Amino acid sequence: MKAIITKIQFVVCIRTDDCEDLELQKIYARLPDEKAAADDYIRVIDESGVYPAIYFYPVRLPQAVKETFKIAA
């Protein structure tokens, strides 16, 4: 398998509204998804994938931490 380099943004979960797939205060990698964004959702790397944008807040991570997040195809 070859790794795919993608611009990844990071978000922290600030709300779940009883969504069992998400964990409060957990940092998720966010992937670009124009279709989800059109409906005010974002795509994060986890088991389900797409959630309301209001459940997350963007965060900046140090480069050393960013490098630990990898996407494999």
pLDDT tens string 5-59: 457 789 999 999 988 889 999 999 898 899 999 999 999 988 778 999 999 999 9
Which residue has tokens 């050393």? 64
State both tokens at 28: 């998720």
pLDDT of residue 31: 87
Note the pLDDT of residue 26: 92
Residue 6 pLDDT: 57
Asked whether the CA dihedral 3, 6, 12, 13 is positive or negative, the reply is: negative
Query: pLDDT value at position 70?
Result: 60
